[in-house]
A and B are shown apart, each in its own frame.
Chain A
Amino acid sequence: MRDKAMIHLTTPISEAEILELHAGDAIQLSGIATTGRDAAHKYMVEKLIEAPRPLPPADQKLHDELQSFLRGGAIYHSGPILRNDDGRWSFVSSGPTTSIRDEVYQDKVIAAFGLRVVIGKGGMGPRTLEACKRYKAVYLHGIGGAGVYNAASVVEVLDVFKKEEFGLPEAFWKIRFDRFTGIVTMDAHGKSLHDDLALEFDRNFATVIKGV
């Protein structure tokens, strides 16, 4: 990302826009997204994607709702802290959470919902990388731990789903981003910065461990 200007993206994002991105690019993302972490991903795969049809009415409704704004959109691995002032929710602290826990689900969610951006921290594995390549999506690495900085880019909470069942941190919070900042670390061309870096870390480790 050295010496490069910040790239701005707004949902819905096209395939062409994704193909212009490369691992290492710094991004500011605006538009509609949903939070979703462990419980949400398990639910999407088991109850919405792989469940026998017809779906129960409540699940069908949420399925259709998610389809309506996730196509070309983003999912954010984050369990926020929120404030409720007279019935209006707002994000107080909401950085990205570790993404690898959703590795077994993410490719299916990208495929079924037409996601263009998966936001989290720590990177993801080969299944997600393959899905990014096949369905034209990127993994955006957020600034982990920077809860207040990240919350400032969540300018509106539009809706919430599964709040009672999953609890506040695990619910689907439908939000509007204004210039959420992150770094593309896995692109749609099959490149993962995490894979490259892991090789470098291992090489360094081998040297350091010898005590030289």
Chain B
Amino acid sequence: MKSTAEWIDGKGFREAVFELVRLAACELPADVEKALSDARSAEEPGSSAELTLSLFLKNIAMAKEKQAPVCQDTGLPIFFISHPEGVSQRQLIRVCQEAASWATAKPYLRHNAVDAVTGKNSGNNIGLGFPAVYFTEWDDPAIEMALILKGGGSENVSGQYSIPYDPLDAGRDLEGVRRVVLDCACKAEGKGCPPGILGVCIGGDRGGGYMESKHQLLRRLDDIHPDPVLAELEGRILSDANRLGIGPLGLGGKTTLLGVKIGKLHRVPASYFVTISYMCWVCRRRSIRIEPDGNWRITG
């Protein structure tokens, strides 16, 4: 097998990662655009919700045409990389950093990496844990990179519940899960830029729960969970959330969420965490697959 350095420095590799960042920032996935378009059709004609969704769709078209970032908050770039055995993760992190820096100069990304103590902006989207890069080793010979640009407003309204949760009488069962997830969506009101998408993890520890909830945000909106129990729960929470009346940007309307995606992790007997990552309507999620010969293609 090729060394990581040969692979990364060879034909196409950097180009592919740079393209991934550009695409994520400037062009929303087709399933997200379709969901927004369907939502517009569902709102009352002439309502502010319908106007807002029309302007979202107009903005998506303008961003694509001008090759400009759909939203100015390009957030924290989070890379999820699946790679074969023997690949150097440190070298892959360096490529992700190069891509972040290149995209900042274009400008496809906003200057977003701020020192947590001094407040100094690094100016190139590189910093401690910035961009975030996570790895999974797999049997496939290719590398697959998924990228989410996770904006700050939606991250701020994400949350984690430890159940039982008294204020909602939420117990350690799926009904309890339903209650706390809806509570999170309701408390977010317009602050997370609805209609949002919720990535949810049932179980795990506090850290693992957040990771899994972000993994769930990689799923297409129109997929169906293979576990019928979770598939049903996803549908139930989605339809319940869309009865809250929060609507696009929290200004009222029928569409509060575009999707709910739920995963699970084993938990210790003492803990029962429910973790929710809120993704705004500008759901920037893209992926590419890079073959060992440097050929690559967009996979999502």
Contacts and interface: CB of A to CB of B under 8 A. Distances in A.
B191 interface: yes
- Majority SS of interface residues in chain A? mixed
A169 B62 contact: no
Contact of B240 (A92, A202, A208): A208
A93 B246 contact: no
B291 to A, nearest CB: 33
Contact of B70 (A3, A147, A197): A147
A79 B74 CA distance: 11
B158 interface: no
Interface string B212-246: 00000000000000000000000000001101111
Please tell me the size bucket of the interface on A.
Answer: 35 or more
A97 B110 contact: no
Nearest to A80: B72
A16 interface: no
A56 interface: no
Contacts of B152: 97-98
Contact of A168 (B111, B179, B186): B111
User: Shortest 3 CB-CB distances between A and B: which pairs?
Assistant: A167-B121, A146-B59, A149-B59
B88 interface: no
Contact of B63 (A26, A148, A198): A148
Contact of B186 (A79, A97, A146, A205): A205
B71 A147 contact: yes
B141 interface: no
A144 B246 CA distance: 14
Nearest to B246: A201
A200 B110 contact: no
A145 interface: yes
A15 to B, nearest CB: 26
B85 interface: no
Nearest to B178: A211
A147 B46 contact: no
B29 interface: no
A183 B48 contact: yes
A9 B110 CA distance: 30
Nearest to B114: A167
A193 B253 CA distance: 13
Given A168-B110, A194-B250, A209-B179, A81 B69 contact: yes
Interface in B133-189: 152-153, 156, 168, 175, 178-179, 182-183, 186, 189
Contacts of B74: 81
Among A147, A169, A185: residue with most chain B CB under 10 A: A147
B72 A94 contact: yes
A145 B250 contact: no
Given A145-B71, A145-B193, A3 B59 contact: no
Interface in A182-202: 183, 185, 193-194, 197-198, 200-202
A121 interface: yes
A146 B55 contact: yes
A197 to B, nearest CB: 6
Contact of B68 (A100, A148, A202): A148
B159 to A, nearest CB: 15
A141 interface: yes
A80 B68 CA distance: 12
Given A97-B153, A148-B62, A3 B69 contact: no
